[in-house]
């Protein structure tokens, strides 16, 4: 039966190679699976929900194509919600497949029940969810600070935000924008490339960087 790799990054600019290399090595050295029997599923989107095409294709394959193993670089690449994580692991194992998290050193459904692995998965999943929630809380605090500025009610909303009845709300691209701005701050991406990635101008990128409390 075929095996599968799942890899995810937040933006189109980020590279999946590190995750894929890690999973290929695991499949080859630990599972003895030929690359000819390997399907790869990719997403370039946020991990805060499961509305991802690559994720859904993987789950469909698990349920209909008899996938033997599903290999992921680390838990946070699969889900940033503990509930989504536990549901996914259950769906995989209930369909007779094993799921492996390479970096975390955890496997489920491989016939070697390890209660400690379950506990570790829950802890890592809870931490990934906590990180996502902290980011959301920081965003809300930033919005509150922004609302106190005099020009808030008259100017355009900041990059990544929309206005709803006079209130700032996160737009559809908010997670992607946060990831891109973080890469700019870490000197991993130029402002020009960031502007191209987000379909905006360098001036808008500069303004967003000056308002880091929003992101």
**Catalytic amino acids?**
10
Distance CA 215, CA 179 (A): 9
Distance CA 177, CA 30 (A): 37
Is 143 in contact with 214 (CB distance < 8 Å)? yes
Q: Indicate the length of the chain as a whole number.
A: 215
Distance CA 77, CA 6 (A): 8
Distance CA 4, CA 67 (A): 7
Q: Quick one: DSSP state of residue 157?
A: P
Alpha helix ranges (H) inside the chain: 17-26, 53-64, 75-78, 82-94, 115-147, 174-185, 191-198, 202-210
Sign (positive/negative) of CA torsion 193, 194, 199, 202?
Answer: negative
């Amino acid at each position: 039966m075929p095996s599968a790799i799942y890899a995810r990054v937040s933006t189109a600019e980020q590279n999946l190679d590190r995750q894929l290399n890690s999973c290929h090595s695991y499949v080859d050295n630990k599972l003895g699976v030929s690359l000819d029997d390997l399907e790869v599923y990719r997403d370039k989107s946020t991990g805060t929900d499961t509305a991802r095409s690559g994720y859904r294709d993987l789950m469909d394959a698990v349920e209909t194509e008899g996938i033997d193993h599903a290999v992921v670089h680390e838990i946070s690449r699969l889900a940033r919600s503990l509930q989504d994580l536990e549901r996914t692991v259950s769906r995989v194992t209930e369909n007779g497949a094993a799921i492996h998290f390479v970096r975390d050193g955890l496997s489920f459904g491989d016939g070697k029940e390890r209660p400690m692995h379950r506990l570790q998965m829950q802890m890592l999943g809870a931490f990934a969810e906590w990180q996502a929630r902290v980011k959301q809380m920081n965003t809300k605090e930033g919005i509150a600070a922004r609302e106190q500025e005099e020009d808030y009610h008259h100017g355009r909303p900041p990059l990544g935000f929309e206005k709803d009845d006079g209130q700032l709300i996160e737009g559809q691209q908010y997670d992607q924008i946060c990831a891109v701005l973080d890469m700019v701050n870490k000197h991993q991406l130029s402002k020009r490339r960031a502007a191209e990635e987000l379909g905006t101008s360098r001036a808008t990128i500069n303004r967003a960087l000056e308002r880091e409390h929003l992101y």
